[in-house]
Structure 1
């Protein structure tokens, strides 16, 4: 038996039935409940067929055909490795996929435009163009090229962190670059969450939010400030403790805590 768990109910019944009918191997029987968190239940005669169905539904989810999670008791370590392999191939393909190629082409167009503008600036120009419009446009192009480059590097780093996690090259509960933890994973392999993270990273890359390219810098800055805040708080608490002991009287003093 394979259950299709849906985070978003109201999956259209015709689409769900069509998807199940495309499943290879064919189900022995199935029920659908498009308005529930368990959108469908599929029955198979053999455990091997159920295992192949798990792979089928993950393949179709990765392809963007649905967002349901196939769940079954037949999901053993061997089958989980097969599904992880699907994710590894998918993430690796994204590193050179359509979105990245569009970013590369866009950056190349801007770089060519910036080079042509630099060539114009090296030639004699009217004062208004030389000190006003053209330098400002050149700076804008450089800034935009830098933002695209930052977003591409952030995306590459995110995909590599996910690959490291899937391939077991990092600790089980986090994916770390240097000392900066970016993604937090609980115990167990939550492939549904990993898929959501991958889709989110693709969306952020394509939408072009400037802050995305500076995510690691922001995280490092926040954590640095947190350490500074904690240190100051401890020192403040120790000083407050000293003043309280002094005001209580010498005969009642206790051992002062060490400053961390």
Structure 2
């Protein structure tokens, strides 16, 4: 291995460990610390989104990113009737400022804001255990899909957008998520139905990953940014979590959450 490759590996490992430590600490502490982390991540992801779609609009990207982060930080402390329009405001403000990709920006920015709000609500309302469940489901979906896709191979899921993803890896993610759901069901009163919810969360996570891949392919970029050495940007690392969190915001209103609680 060349010195340059080794330096890149060291940077990737160091930044990866730092992300895990900071993320786990914020999840453990909850409250304001978790809100601050999510608000920062939300603002940076909106900034990345604008920069991908319109690289020349640096000032617009900075302004929308800052406003999105502040809106995410304030929204959990407001009544839902006020918080919801505030969360959609960054999408509306940016729609007319984008030189291209305005609709893509508006839809994805709204999803980013809802995802952040959903994660804060999950940690605040249901505690550490359920936040860890969400994180573990998203992680095992990604890890199981990665290894199964390379060991088993087979037909591609959507080669035009994500040429490395296979149906075998996709299905392996669902199976791994179901196993996590059954394990957490034994620790809670959720019951075996949590396995089905976990599979749906896994699917939403995969859709979030594919959606971000489609945007990058449309913009002709490999990574959403270079914020994280060796890893690209926040959207590259947390696209699956966005999809999973938005799903919980919507599905929680339909079936009740956690399963078995109603």
**TM-score, normalised via structure 2 length:** 0.28
Q: Over alpha carbons, which structure has the higher Rg?
A: 1
More strand by share: 1
**TM-score, normalised via structure 1 length:** 0.28
